[in-house]
Structures are given as C-alpha cells and as structure tokens.
Amino acid sequence: MSGPVDRFENEPWTAAVLGLGYVGLPFAVNAIQRGVQVVGFDVNTSKVESMLNGTSPIDDISNEELASALERGLKVTSDPADIKGLDAYFICVPSPLGRSREPDLSYIRSATALIVDVIGPGALVSLESTTYPGTTEEIIVASLTAGGFELDEEVFVAYSPERVDPGSAFAIHQIPKVVGGVSETSGAVAAAAYGRLVDEVHLVSDAKVAELSKLLENTYRSVNIALANEMAQLADELDVSIWETIDAAATKPFGFQPFYPGPGVGGHCIPLDPQYLAWKAREVGGSIRFIDLAEQVNTNMPKYVVERVARLLNDRGRALKGSTVLAVGLTYKPNIADDRESPSVEVVERLAQRGANVHVIEPMLTQASVEAHGVTAINQGATLGAVDLAIILTDHDDVDYEEIAHSVPVVFDTRGAYRKRALSFSNVVEI
C-alpha cells in the first residue's frame, strides 16, 4: 500500500478530469494551480474549442483564470487518446434525474466505459458526481473488474462528493474534501491524491458513507428551506413578518441555524440530490417522509408566489390578467448566470400563462435567454411607469432597488432584498 500512497503524496502525477462544467473545470484549474499536470476532457467539442479560444463556459472561472491555467499546462480535449495511461481519473459529469424523477446515470456509465478503455495499471479512479449510495461499486468497480483490472492492485477506486458552490467566496482548495474508498487501500490512495489538491481531507470508512454524506448535506438544506417556506405562508396568514421572526430566533447562540424563504429552490443540487436519496430509499423499502414533504412544499412555492401576486394586485383593484408585472432575476441564486431548475423561471412562466404582461430585468443573462421563457427582457433604467407590480425573485447586487421602489406602486420581495440592504419603503411587501 505504501507504494501508491507515497506516489500520490510526494511524486509528480497526471490526472484526467472528465466533464468540464460547473464541477470539472474549477477542479481542473485548482489541480493545475496545486502543481498537478491535468488533461480536461469533455465530449462537447464546441465547448472545448471555445475554451481553447480563451472563453470560459462558466462564471466561476473567468477567461483570465482559464488563460492562466492553459499557460500553466492545462490541456483540454475531446480526444480519448489524450487521457490514455494517466495516473488518476476524476469523473465530474452530470447526474440528472429522468422524467420519472429516477437517477439518470448514463453520463457516469459513459465516462466509466471510456476510462476502462484508456486506463493503465496503478491508476486512481474517483467519482465526484452526486449519486446514490452504492453507485461507485455498482458501476465503476464492476466495470473495471469486468475489464480485467484487479482492485487495489491494478486500480484504486473512490468516491469524493463535489462541494462546488457557484458564486461562493470559498476557493476549491479551502473546502474540506470527504473521501471514501471502496476498500481501505483505495481510500488511503485517494486521500493521498486529494491531499495534494485541497487543504483538508476527511477520510471516511467507505465510498457509501461519502455518497450518503453528499445527499445528507443537500437534503438537510432542502428540508430546512421547506420549513422556512411553510413558516412564511403561515406568517402571512398571521400577519407576522417571517424575516423578523427568523432574525429573532437566530439570536439564540445554540440550537438554531437560520434558513430563509423564497420562491422555491433551484440549481443542480437542492432540487435534485434529495430525489436520489428518495429513489434509493424506496428501492430498499426505507422511509422518506421528510424528503417527500420538503419537495412538495418547495415545488409548490412558485404557485404560491403567483397567488400572492394576484392577491396584491387584487387589493389594488387590478386583475392579474392584463397587468404589467416586472420580475427581477431569473437565475436560481444571486450574481451568477445559471438558471438551472430556477423557481424564478417557473414564476414568470406562470404569470405569463395567467395573462400578465411580464417584463424581466436580469443582468446576468442574455436577452435571448430571458425571452425564451415567453417574457420581455428590459434593461435597467427603462421607464417603469406602466408597471403595476414588481416582484424580486433573485436579489442580484447589480440592481437599483431604490429606483424600482420609487417607480412601482407595489413591490413583492420574495428574497428579503430590501431588508438585507437596509432599505425601507412602505410599498414593499415581503413574502
């Protein structure tokens, strides 16, 4: 065991990163910065060509950071021959849900099949894509052993969940890395490799623990956001400020962590990851009541938000149909150009379906991306005199909230944007 562990701890080694999206590209850039020779692989040839021309496909890696990584030796490719015989393979491909909310592991299977074709003896394979407990053994170990590789002799296999947070102030290497091998030996080898890439490695007993830990992280968030969303609806019925209530509870120095309401949950993690756990729980006959209830609450929030808009307009003698509604923000979180699974998108689409004339300010997306949702994109500074109601769906920094409140009769703030900025207007209504 000391041979491969020592090699990954102390000697130069090469790595392939499969998938150059929100997870893989930051991983590859960080690895280059930590002195590891990296080849980034993606089947999307146009993405690879764009990167080679200096354009980063994601917000978290700027064009300048990409250029620096390329200068340091980062190679990006769509040619499998370029990742043949490397020392480590990190799988960072998508793991979406299918139409029936079942795990879609096709990307993981494809990446594994490719690795089997190009891997040499003594290499590490680590899966980073979010998935259910058992995937690393069922797919990666099974495929490698079927390909003639002996575990812990010719190949080492582990799972280490990605912890990428788009727009976060945390650098990749600053976030502790959970690592679990499919065996004790594989775990030690993987921990040695990750120890070169991040400041802190937390080695767990096996891959299943690591797989479950990722799902627990995001299920925890989903459940607590759902609680905040349900409390917000109750607070509205009681005519109590949910934001002031949460802030008051958060003064307790123990036993409470604040979560805040909003128009729903978005991104690739919180809406999807708990469903991987729910699917696996159903398969083994386990209980998933919290997960199912949280999903029901969170997925109902866009509908609830639209009903609140209709009620606010009705209070002013206006019907939703025919009214002009200004929506601020379509991305799922502030200051990033990512609208995957964004509840804001569902809100504006529902408003348009109900007959509202929806205008959208979205500084992070192109006009075409916004108008693909059947709404009208407008720039900041546009005349807002005809707007009947504004709704804050994503609290981007690059928005003039004071101007909106001064120009629009009523503002429905679903994100606490005005409270966060210490702005007080009598026509701003919080969720």
Contact indicator for 330, 393 with CB cutoff of 8 Å: yes
- As separate numbers, helices (DSSP H) first and strands (DSSP E) second, the chain gives 16, 14
| CA 171 remoteness from chain centre | 15
Query: What's the rounded Cα separation, in Å, for the pair 139 and 129?
Result: 13
Q: Residues 93, 127: contact at Cβ < 8 Å? A: no
Detail the DSSP E strand segments found in 14-98.
14-18, 37-41, 75-77, 88-91
Q: CA nearest 359: which of 374, 346, 369, 344?
A: 374
Query: Do residues 190 and 128 touch, judged by C-beta distance below 8 A?
Result: no
Residue positions counted in the chain: 431
The answer to whether 15 and 87 have CB atoms below 8 angstroms apart is: yes
Are 102 and 276 in contact by the 8 Å Cβ rule? The answer is no
108-146 per-residue burial string, b: 16 or more CB within 10 A, e: under 16? beebbebbbebbeebbbbbbbbbbbbebbbebbbebbee
- DSSP summary character for residue 338: -
Angle at 85 between CA 79 and CA 89, to 5 degrees: 80
Q: How far apart are CA 57 and CA 30, in angstroms?
A: 16
Which of 192, 217, 23, 1 is closest to 108 using CA atoms? Answer: 23
Residue 102 backbone dihedrals phi, psi, to 5 degrees: -95, 155
Active site residues: 269
According to DSSP, the residues that pair with 242 across neighbouring strands are: none
**Residue 228, SS3 per DSSP:** helix
Residue 104's alpha-carbon distances to 134, 146, 273, 274, in angstroms, are: 14, 22, 12, 14
Nearest to 329 by CA among 375, 308, 300, 360: 360
Q: Cα–Cα distance between 174 and 164 in angstroms, integer?
A: 11
